[in-house]
């Protein structure tokens, strides 16, 4: 799991006040060294920052670390936190999660909320301490109660994903909102996504656009891609493909694979002046190299239908297989169909059925419709109306039109033969 260990801002106000209180003609650096020599931890931390940044002195990482360590040993909370970050990342010191944990604990006891949040990350990931989600939640809550937006956003993630708690999208949204209202970019993006899909809050395109735009203002890289999606589909804002391309391009520049796939989609489907099969192929290859789930699937489709490339069933199967192995249900379904048709592989109904069932179980609605149809008709399997209805309902719930129509047909009561009501005369 990705963590977000951060540098704690230095509060140098007390040290600056001490310097200001000295004789004005004295060199400020001399005053700092004198304060440090007298045991002033704030002065030690301040000197560390000067060497780190190369301000008034020649930049020197070794000297910076020396003074930072001294400040931490003298109980300076921000120094303890920042030295913990150095040990966590192996920056200027040999990496040691154990040392980082101890320093975060020391700073946390002095009320540094970022350290409390970092303790949560380390317990969640089992870094320098035994992995324990309950302990992680304890520290996240400690930090969140101090209005730490990283911790608030993290608690939102846990509720959203059902980790450590029963999944609760309403509470997830509430925690995301707490952090978003403090200008936390990732939380703003999460709030926007909640409004976009209606998770924990009523679906609202305009509010989704508002919060995603705020995340973008705070340079949230994935927000660029989401904003591109909103302009591409006209959700919460007037549809504007050119603006969608602009935002997707910015996201690609930030390394977003979802943006690569979305931009490729525009170049594949685009209207006059927008189609660019070569660029679409290049974008998808880059995303697939990063194992982005659906990139390989769309490359498979390009080769399957010969869209912008020479039609090549074998290449299509190769991409579908890579994507399926990464867990893409759409590619699993395509592999199943290929084993039925013999395009790129030998016909094998048993293998085909296994892939299609797996795809259906993972939510591929075309696969679900396929199974509903074959069980309804008894095509290659024993007819089973109950199983057919189950798969068709699953596909219908995802808006699959053919599944909806077949369900209506199967649920329609059969016409009864007309009853002859004419009375026979007794003879």
Average pLDDT across the chain, whole number: 92
pLDDT-derived band of residue 168, with 50, 70 and 90 as boundaries?
A: very high
pLDDT-derived band of residue 29, with 50, 70 and 90 as boundaries?
A: confident
Over the stretch 173-194, which tens digit does the pLDDT of each residue have? 999 999 999 999 999 999 999 9
- pLDDT at position 273: 79
pLDDT at 393 over 60: yes
pLDDT at 403 over 70: yes
pLDDT-derived band of residue 245, with 50, 70 and 90 as boundaries?
A: very high
Report the b/e string of 355-382 with b at 16+ CB within 10 A: bbbbbbeeebbbbbbbbbbbbbeeeeee
| Distance from C-alpha of 93 to C-alpha of 51, rounded to nearest angstrom | 16
Within 10 angstroms of residue 29's Cβ, the number of other Cβ atoms is 13
- pLDDT at position 415: 59
Within 10 angstroms of residue 35's Cβ, the number of other Cβ atoms is 20
Over the stretch 294-310, which tens digit does the pLDDT of each residue have? 999 999 999 999 999 99
Over the stretch 202-213, which tens digit does the pLDDT of each residue have? 999 999 999 999
pLDDT at 118 over 50: yes
- pLDDT at position 2: 42
pLDDT mean over 42-48 = 95
pTM, 2 dp:
0.80
Alpha helix stretches (DSSP H) within 58-148: 61-73, 77-89, 97-109, 113-125, 133-144
What secondary structure letter does DSSP report for 41?
H
* Ramachandran region, residue 271 (left: φ > 0; alpha: ψ -120 to 50; beta: rest): beta
pLDDT at 412 over 80: no
- pLDDT at position 271: 74
Q: Are 227 and 250 in contact (CB under 8 A)?
A: no
- pLDDT at position 1: 39
| Distance from C-alpha of 65 to C-alpha of 366, rounded to nearest angstrom | 59
pLDDT mean over 388-392 = 95
pLDDT at 11 over 70: no
- pLDDT at position 270: 79
| Distance from C-alpha of 114 to C-alpha of 69, rounded to nearest angstrom | 19
| Distance from C-alpha of 370 to C-alpha of 311, rounded to nearest angstrom | 25
Tell which wins on pLDDT, 271 or 292: 292
pLDDT at 380 over 70: yes
Over the stretch 325-346, which tens digit does the pLDDT of each residue have? 999 999 999 999 999 999 999 9
pLDDT mean over 250-255 = 95
Closest to 344 (Cα-Cα) out of 371, 305, 380, 307: 305
- Tokens 């591929």, residue? 364
Segments making up each domain of the chain, as ranges: 365-411
| Distance from C-alpha of 43 to C-alpha of 39, rounded to nearest angstrom | 8
- pLDDT at position 13: 45
């Amino acid at each position: 799991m990705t963590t977000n260990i951060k540098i704690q801002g230095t509060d140098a106000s007390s040290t600056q006040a001490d310097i200001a209180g000295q004789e004005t003609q004295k060199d400020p650096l001399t005053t700092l060294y004198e304060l440090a020599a007298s045991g002033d931890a704030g002065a030690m931390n301040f000197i560390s920052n000067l060497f780190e940044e190369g301000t008034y002195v020649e930049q020197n990482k070794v000297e910076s670390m020396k003074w930072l360590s001294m400040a931490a040993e003298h109980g300076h909370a921000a120094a303890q936190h920042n030295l913990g970050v150095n040990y966590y990342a192996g920056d200027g010191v040999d990496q040691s999660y154990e040392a980082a944990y101890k320093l975060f604990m020391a700073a946390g006891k002095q009320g540094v909320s970022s350290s409390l949040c970092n303790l949560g990350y380390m317990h969640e990931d089992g870094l320098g301490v035994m992995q324990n989600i309950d302990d992680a939640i304890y520290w996240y809550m400690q930090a969140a109660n101090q209005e730490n937006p990283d911790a608030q956003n993290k608690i939102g993630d846990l509720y959203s994903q059902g980790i450590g708690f029963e999944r609760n999208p309403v509470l997830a949204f509430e925690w995301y909102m707490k952090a978003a209202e403090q200008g936390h970019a990732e939380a703003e993006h999460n709030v926007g996504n909640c409004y976009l899909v209606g998770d924990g809050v009523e679906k609202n395109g305009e509010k989704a656009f508002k919060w995603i735009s705020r995340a973008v203002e705070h340079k949230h890289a994935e927000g660029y891609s989401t904003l591109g999606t909103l302009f591409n589909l006209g959700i919460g804002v007037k549809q504007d493909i050119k603006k969608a391309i602009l935002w997707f391009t910015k996201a690609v520049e930030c390394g977003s694979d979802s943006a690569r796939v979305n931009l490729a989609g525009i170049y594949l489907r685009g209207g006059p002046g927008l189609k660019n099969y070569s660029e679409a192929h290049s974008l998808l290859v880059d995303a697939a190299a990063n194992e982005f789930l659906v990139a390989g699937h769309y490359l498979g489709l390009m080769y399957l239908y010969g869209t912008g490339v020479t039609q090549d069933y074998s290449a299509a199967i190769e991409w579908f297989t890579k994507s399926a192995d990464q867990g893409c249900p759409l590619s699993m379904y395509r592999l199943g169909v290929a084993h039925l048709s013999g395009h790129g592989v030998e016909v094998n109904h048993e293998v085909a059925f296994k892939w299609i069932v797996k795809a259906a179980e993972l939510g591929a609605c075309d696969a679900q419709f396929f199974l509903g149809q074959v069980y309804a008709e008894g095509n290659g399997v024993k007819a089973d109306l109950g199983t057919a209805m189950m798969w068709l309902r699953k596909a219908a719930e995802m808006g699959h039109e053919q599944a909806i129509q077949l369900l209506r047909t199967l649920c329609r009561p059969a016409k009864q033969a007309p009853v002859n009501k004419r009375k026979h005369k007794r003879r």
